Structure 1
Amino acid sequence: MKTERAKEILVQLLRIPSPSGREDRIALYIMDFLHRLDYDVHIESDGEIIDLVVNPEAELFYEVHMDTIEPRAEPFVRGNIVYGTGASDIKGGIAAILLMLEQLRKENKDLNVGIVFVSDEEKGGRGSALFMERYRPKMAIVLEPTDLEVHIAHAGNIEAYFEVDGKEAHGACPESGINAIEQTFEMLQKLKELEPFKVKGKYFDPHIGIQELICENPFYLIPGLCKGRLEARLLPEQEVEDVLDLIDPILDEYTIRHEYTEIWDGYELSEDEEIVQIAKKAMEATGLNEFGGMRSWTDAINFMYNGTKTIVFGPGNLDISHTKNERIDVRDVVKASEFLMYVNEIYGKS
């Protein structure tokens, strides 16, 4: 029965497109859902960003983002698998929270934690930044697709846009030109050979690669210019500034221009932290047993930078998030909801 209810809620959420900047309709749906359960909703906004806050005085918060990337796939259901943009990232997490709130009302139990539904995670993280300007909870669980692992570690990151200059020549005369594509991949190879990207990590390995590359060549030419975006994933213990000291000389050598657009250090919480201890008890109660590390940027970075001890957890799979084949098993949504129920109960007794 819970599985069918989770499926129903999730499909309703997926039928409301909510790409970053257009979260108003899904925010209204969530507000209506919460009001029908008789929960007070506090609206936080700066005129552009909107956050919905429940139980604002709590010291432990569940945080989940309402926005998705631009829609790439229409929602549909096949058995217990629900497909569609946002199914995994992270409307399955929203459904888990709403399912938990329904269950608390049915069992006449208190909501001991706070909940915030934020905007703009997929673009600039301004929703979580706004929340942290106005609230400073002691602990948080940020919902993201972790395959029901409790992520106590988080990657660091470096993102840079760059331009590599070559020299145009007729396409049949490569010896007379400098191929900007080949220069770009020579640069990438040197970056990959740096020591920070050769080590192994506890939960994931570091990585550096090119995620966007445009080399305009409307004529039969040796390409003279490439523009792209470079992304580096760092281990929690690797210092961003130390890695930048190694990357900078290579980018200076190969690019005519580069700009760092995202830079942040990762982190790893001790298993002795209160939020990790609470999560451990909830894991035991729900049959979960895996700790892990988050490989992507999440709102947890904004929380941790402002002093809130934060873990990341949720249903869904990060690997297939943002793809045309994004999907989630609603049984995992139910399991996530049960985990959140236990955390709420354990925290209420502490």
Structure 2
Amino acid sequence: MKAERAKEILVHLLEIPSPSGHEDRVALHIMEFLHKLDYDVHIESDGEIIDLVVNPDAELFFEVHMDTIPIRIKPFVRGNMVYGTGASDIKGGIASVLLMLENLRRLKQDLNVGVVFVSDEEHGGRGSALFMERYKPKMAVVLEPTDLEVHIAHAGNIEAYFEVDGKEAHGACPESGENAIELTYKMLEKLKALEPFKKRGKYFDPHVGLQELICENPYYLIPSLCKGRLEARLLPDQEVEDVLDLFEPILEEYTLRYEYTEIWDGYELEDDEEIVQIAKQAMERTGLDEFGAMRSWTDAINFVYNGTRTIVFGPGNLDISHTKNEHIDVRDIVSASEFLMEINEIYGKGR
């Protein structure tokens, strides 16, 4: 029964497209869902971004974003598996929160935590930034696909746009030109050889690679210009500024121009922090036993930068998120909702 209800909630969410900048319809659906359960919903907006807040005075918040990437696969169901853009990232997480709120009402239990549904996570993180401007919770659980692992650490990141300038020559005369594609890969190899990327991490290893590469060459020529985007994933304890100092001489050598488009430091919570201890108790009650670290941008970065001690947790798999094979097991949505209910109860008793 729980799995079927989770499936029903998720499919309704997936039937409403909500790519970044177009969250209005799914926000309205969530508001109507909550109003039927007699929850008060506070709307926060700056004219462009909309956030939905429940129990705004709480010091511990569950946060989940409403937006997805543009639709790549329409929803369909195979048994307990639900497919579709956003199934894993992160409408399965929304469904787990809604299922928790529904079960609290059914069991006549109090909502002790706050809940916020935000916009724009996939595009610029403006929804969580707006929320943190107006609210300062002490702790948070940010819902993201973690395979039900509790992530107490978070990667740092550097993303840069670049243009590599070569020298045009006839395609049969490579010795007379400079191949921009080959120069790009020489640049990448130098970046990969830097000391920070030789280290090994507790949860994952650091990595630098190309995310995008465009080298238009419609004629029989040695390509003279490559435009692209590279990304470096850093360990939680690696300082972004230290890595930038190593990056810049290489980028200066190989690129016509470059621009950093995303930069953030990672973090790792201490074992004795309150939110970690609450999560441990909830894990023991629900049979979850894995700690981990988030490898991608999440709204947790905006929370931690503003002083909120934050873990990342949720149903779904990060590896397949954004792909044409994106899907989720609805039984994991049920497990996530039960974990969140335990946090709600543990936190309520400890206040």
* The two structures share one fold, judged by TM-score above 0.5: yes
Secondary structure of 1:261's counterpart equals: strand
Q: State the one-letter code of the partner of 1:196.
A: P
Q: Does residue 1:80 correspond to 2:87, yes or no? A: no
What's the RMSD between the two structures over aligned residues? 0.4
Cα distance, 1:153 vs structure 2:
0.2
Partner residue, 1:338: 338
Partner residue, 1:63: 63
Secondary structure of 2:16's counterpart equals: coil
**In 2, Cα distance between equivalents of 1:50 and 1:79:** 34
Q: State the one-letter code of the partner of 2:135.
A: Y
Partner residue, 2:322: 322
Map 1:68-217 to 2 at 5 A.
68-217=68-217
Q: Does residue 1:261 correspond to 2:241, yes or no? A: no
Cα distance, 1:11 vs structure 2:
0.4
Q: State the one-letter code of the partner of 1:247.
A: F
Instruction: Kindly provide the CA deviation profile for residues 7-34 of structure 1, in whole angstroms up to 9, marking residues without a partner as x.
Output: 0000000000000000000000000000
What count of residue pairs does the alignment treat as equivalent?
350
**In 2, Cα distance between equivalents of 1:120 and 1:4:** 29
**In 2, Cα distance between equivalents of 1:326 and 1:306:** 32
Secondary structure of 1:137's counterpart equals: coil
**In 1, Cα distance between equivalents of 2:94 and 2:100:** 10
**In 1, Cα distance between equivalents of 2:174 and 2:195:** 33
Q: State the one-letter code of the partner of 2:194.
A: L
**In 2, Cα distance between equivalents of 1:275 and 1:91:** 24
Instruction: Kindly provide the CA deviation profile for residues 192-216 of structure 1, in whole angstroms up to 9, marking residues without a partner as x.
Output: 0001001100001000001000001
**In 2, Cα distance between equivalents of 1:172 and 1:76:** 51
Secondary structure of 1:184's counterpart equals: helix
Secondary structure of 2:319's counterpart equals: helix
Cα distance, 1:173 vs structure 2:
1.0
**In 2, Cα distance between equivalents of 1:216 and 1:139:** 48
- Gaps in structure 2 of 5+ consecutive residues: none
- Gaps in structure 1 of 5+ consecutive residues: none
Runs of 4+ residues deviating >3 angstroms: none
Secondary structure of 2:82's counterpart equals: strand
Partner residue, 2:39: 39
**In 2, Cα distance between equivalents of 1:18 and 1:289:** 33
Q: State the one-letter code of the partner of 1:202.
A: K
Provide the TM-score with structure 2 as the length reference. 0.99
**In 2, Cα distance between equivalents of 1:260 and 1:9:** 39
Instruction: Kindly provide the CA deviation profile for residues 81-105 of structure 1, in whole angstroms up to 9, marking residues without a partner as x.
Output: 0000000000000000000011000
